[in-house]
Structure 1
């Protein structure tokens, strides 16, 4: 129970508490039990100075302590009305107020003085080889030196749930070893108080608390609520003692890096009173334990990270050498599910493409999980849970696939992210508390039921928790991928500049081919024709033969330049996408290929073919080249045959067409390279050709988001299959 700011402050009855005006040493407030030390009732003390109750010597010591910021201890003597060393004053000061606790001075359960105890205890703590040995030493030492019946070490996870990992227990006392406590058992206000003041002891549950009467400011209120040794415990402590039948509870908090990592809890069947010296002893050993705990945690984390770095570096290397993020994360011997322990699957969304890897929900289920998660968490923040089914009920249908998820955003604007999945781990867990029924107001009521008792519970729908190392690994991967993307962007920018320079050079080359080389070539052809016409008799048969060879080579050179220019201009041409009849394109191509009344081959063009979508001039180039090759390479057959049609199948929803001939075919060794520039089949012999036509076709179709390939199972001749991956909005049959 958290004490409200304006509610009455109460303290434990073993101590008498006074609030003093610092400049005048006048009592402004007092606990209601002042009569237990032989003084008057609290109400009659208020307004009087301490000089009426304490000796001049003791007042001088109190005044001297007010010059310092730290708490101080002043022993009370017979001159103050107390037997020597039976009681002492503990002073806390803040601003203009003093808080004084008059408490009994306690004797240790075992011999040895304070310094000997402290030296022995801290040496044992410093010699502890690991976290387990350290916490066990802490439990054993506190149990021995203070006489508690049970001392347990409770370690907290990232969700502030606790697990008892070590324990000292006297014979006949119930063991809590390996018992779990929830974050509701040690509330946020309790954890805050443990960070503010690391030691607290609630001495006797059976003795009623006493109220502070009078007036005091916010400084004294804060001191009484969070720092005084006799301060009131929270309601969960009271409930624990009520439910377990014990009478005393205390703690020593263990904080590492400003975060409460765990606590040492002390329980006893009988009242255990500890004075300021004992609390200081616990505070000192607690600080030593915190330092050692921080060292061991750091060392363990460092070892784990060194081992994880080997996995990480292998994965990072593959990411760098891959063109697509999903390939880099899943394609190597080390993958992203090797990066985070206990994950068995992951989903990667990159470039609007979802890739599932390992054991995962379906694409539809994964999309639904992400949509749900973005709805309440946002898409810019890392998110994780080990109980997905409780938060997102649809996931209860597949706990073995995704009981836990870890979502890592990469590039929000591009909808790029990674999510890891953990399966359900069914566990039987010993809990130290239960949940009470809720009242009409939504609060839990333990008035008629026990909250704290050890019982087993089989937990379903939970995965293993996501650790701080898991989160750190994911964040490091996020930063690395972003860095790789930026490096690739810079590299792509550089490559684009080089590509632009290459395009500029190609423009100059095209101009040179189109103008500077064509003119001399036309001159060669023209003068060769003049020689053939006007000087045939003079040249004779041998001269005319050489002249025909010159004219043939000039024609081949002209065809080569025309093909090369057509290839270079593909990307720069303005295209208009329409739907065209392949039959009409074939008829147009035949006008250039066949000059006789009847073509010297059998041509079969399928009827009722779907339209071919693309730019008319570019598609005509494709058909012209494919038909030209078919005619040329089947001409030597006794009955040349060419067939043009549609396969009836599709690629990405687009129809696939074919041009087939019964010609000389393409040797298997050349089929993978036949679409490369300046490449021809190894069996073409002296048949004319530049090695550019099929490269031109490939480029045109690629420009139309399509492709062309060779049917590998064709027994004779060649069967080219091709498609375009664009869609027209209108039909333009020519």
Structure 2
């Protein structure tokens, strides 16, 4: 029995369907190619496109459920050759490197493109149209692009030339480089077109034109072609007894059919063929090379790969040039941040250190104004709103749910009164010094008034059907539509946020050490602190006895009844033991955390070379047991003045965390090094692991809090809270900087001996 799995939705979709439409399982392929999907273990045909009969003269329904050899019956393709290719692809997982495979069938040359997704190997046939002349041209254009990337050309020039080269390779009427904004709307920043076409350069397109799920597919499938907008897609049939008629996942397919909404969109633009190539920056979608043609046009697989390679060269150039700029900016503001710290310590005065020297708090961000709200007064630097307006902002910040840093490039949208001073403060970054005392350090960026020209009105038209249900249609008009954008500023960079967090630590250290003047409040806090410590210790300690009983009884049952247990029961008992072990680890961390408040510190000079080598050996033994090869390198390791047990705990947590979060890196590396200043010893622990977004940094040291991208990696969420508390007891500081999927650096500082004493 066969079940059709195709399901093309109506061209009218409701208001949410653009974002939720399952475009990876359309149930159809484009008409210019053919598809068969086989089981990866037995090579049985489970899916076939209806039009496969045109290629092999057998219907899809006749092929379903049969061995792959049945597909080749009556063709010129030796089954042994295809089986050999499939076996090599499975063994080496080399599908992308092997594609395409050239076959001659029915007196025509074909490209066979293979990929494996989950339990299926998907075979897709496309016509082969490249000639030796076109291949030589493609190679020449690739060589030119590689030479250009290696030269000192400007990024804008590289982008323009990439558009030109892609147009030469694929022969489309128009090739545009389309860059995404922070809100995912796009702008055409480069264009190559035929002379008779109207220019699209500089036009903006709303985020809804490329919905979220389409953007996710662009990150996976870097090249996408629609050869003929007007063609009728071919449905895919499946063996119903195997998959209950579930559609085949075409995430990695080169023939995946197109959403009817997008087809209508292209027809409204007068486009009959389309091709898109993704541009990535650090693994995220930066933009697209979008190609349009006024008549149907198919570009075969080798030519698409050539265009893809040219675009990847541009992606590499984007990453190199932007990293170079970011690192230069980060170094500059970090130097200014260090100067501010020295000034605060020298003056022993927060206000003087931040506002009364050549380097002020304004110099750690690309801002035009800054205000220190401290001790019921405002201290202004640069161009800022009036004092009464700043007072309103600080009062409003007190009601916002953040504890460390706040940033926005659209302040009037969040705080409507800011529209009155948007010319100086459409963007704001703030760090909290004390919400209770209404003390903050604020930075401001001015309004950036922009005249944005959209390709048609960005608001898609909505109609209502007979049942009163709203439907969203693609735009029919793409005539230039201008809009003035106000109340926004330049966005804040990750480097600015990172240095602001470090400055907050510097300021709070001085504030905390001067807070001894408020003795009555300190005494009340100390009492509450001791009571909380005692409570945590008691609860954690009392939990250990019943937990030990649970583990003991489970072990007894497994030992006595193990021989007669079925496998499922044994697995469940093992899960009980594993869970009790995780609970014991968590309780142990909580006990350590609670004891820190009562433990006397034994300060002494510490031999950091010996201490860190012992830690490294212990961590490497653990990682080796997990079959992971992590390198832990040391730089200069100056002595630290501190408690040996607690300092050991600090570096054990930081280095083991760094090693743990590099498990997805190809060559995991952790580097530890230290340096000395006149006042302190600073150590950094850097890794090349998963990193995290600095916008989520506020909850880094919260107890039991873990960042979203740490899911699946073992941990209790207590380690960094312990580190933070130990550093505070040593009168030190801890700060960090991270870039997603690139690196993370944690820095800790310990005062010199004379400062501690």
TM-score tier by shorter-chain length is: 0.5 to 0.7
The 2-side partners of 1:374 and 1:35 are apart by 69
Q: CA deviation at 1:410?
A: 4.0
Partner of 1:62: 82
Counterpart of 2:52 (choices 34, 39, 44) is 34
Q: Per the alignment, do residues 324 and 280 of structure 1 end up closer, same or farther by CA in structure 2, a change over 3 Å counting?
A: same
Counterpart of 1:366 (choices 385, 390, 398) is 390
Counterpart of 1:18 (choices 27, 36, 39) is 36
Q: CA deviation at 1:219?
A: 14
Q: Per the alignment, do residues 74 and 401 of structure 1 end up closer, same or farther by CA in structure 2, a change over 3 Å counting?
A: closer
Give yes or no for the alignment of 1:283 onto 2:308.
yes
Q: TM-score, structure 2 length as denominator?
A: 0.57
Deviations 1:20-51 (A, max 9, x none): 23344332222232244363443333233433
Counterpart of 1:190 (choices 189, 214, 226) is 214
5+ residue gaps, structure 1, are 497-734
Question: What SS class does the counterpart of residue 398 from structure 1 fall into?
Answer: helix
Q: TM-score, structure 1 length as denominator?
A: 0.59
Partner of 1:450: 476
Q: Per the alignment, do residues 397 and 483 of structure 1 end up closer, same or farther by CA in structure 2, a change over 3 Å counting?
A: closer
Q: CA deviation at 1:453?
A: 4.5
Q: Is the 8 A contact 1:10 1:209 kept in 2?
A: yes
Q: Which has the higher contact order (CA 8 A, sep 6+)?
A: 2
5+ residue gaps, structure 2, are 1-17, 520-757
Deviations 1:319-354 (A, max 9, x none): 44444434433323343334433x333332334544
Deviations 1:127-149 (A, max 9, x none): 36232222222111101111122
Q: Per the alignment, do residues 322 and 300 of structure 1 end up closer, same or farther by CA in structure 2, a change over 3 Å counting?
A: same
Partner of 2:123: 100
The 2-side partners of 1:235 and 1:416 are apart by 55
The 1-side partners of 2:243 and 2:438 are apart by 52
Q: Is the 8 A contact 1:408 1:474 kept in 2?
A: no
Number of aligned residues: 487
Partner of 2:551: none
Q: Per the alignment, do residues 451 and 210 of structure 1 end up closer, same or farther by CA in structure 2, a change over 3 Å counting?
A: farther
The 1-side partners of 2:181 and 2:356 are apart by 34
Q: CA deviation at 1:243?
A: 2.8
Q: Is the 8 A contact 1:191 1:260 kept in 2?
A: yes
The 2-side partners of 1:364 and 1:457 are apart by 32
Partner of 2:603: none
Q: Per the alignment, do residues 420 and 294 of structure 1 end up closer, same or farther by CA in structure 2, a change over 3 Å counting?
A: same
Counterpart of 2:485 (choices 438, 459, 468) is 459
Partner of 1:269: 294
Counterpart of 2:360 (choices 335, 340, 345) is 335
The 2-side partners of 1:369 and 1:439 are apart by 42
* 1:260-659 matched pairs, under 5 angstroms: 260-306=285-331, 308=333, 312=337, 315-341=340-366, 343-351=367-375, 353-373=377-397, 375=399, 377-411=400-434, 415-433=438-456, 434-438=458-462, 445-447=471-473, 449-450=475-476, 452-460=478-486, 462-468=487-493, 471-486=494-509
Q: CA deviation at 1:188?
A: 2.4
The 2-side partners of 1:336 and 1:234 are apart by 52
Superposition CA RMSD, Å:
3.7
* 1:60-99 matched pairs, under 5 angstroms: 60-67=80-87, 68=89, 69-71=93-95, 72-73=98-99, 75=101, 77=103, 81-85=105-109, 87-99=110-122
Q: Which has the larger radius of gyration?
A: 1
Partner of 1:509: none
Partner of 2:151: 127
Deviations 1:429-488 (A, max 9, x none): 22235112556799985538437553221223x2322142xx422321321341354367
Q: Is the 8 A contact 2:225 2:275 kept in 1?
A: yes
Q: Per the alignment, do residues 196 and 275 of structure 1 end up closer, same or farther by CA in structure 2, a change over 3 Å counting?
A: same
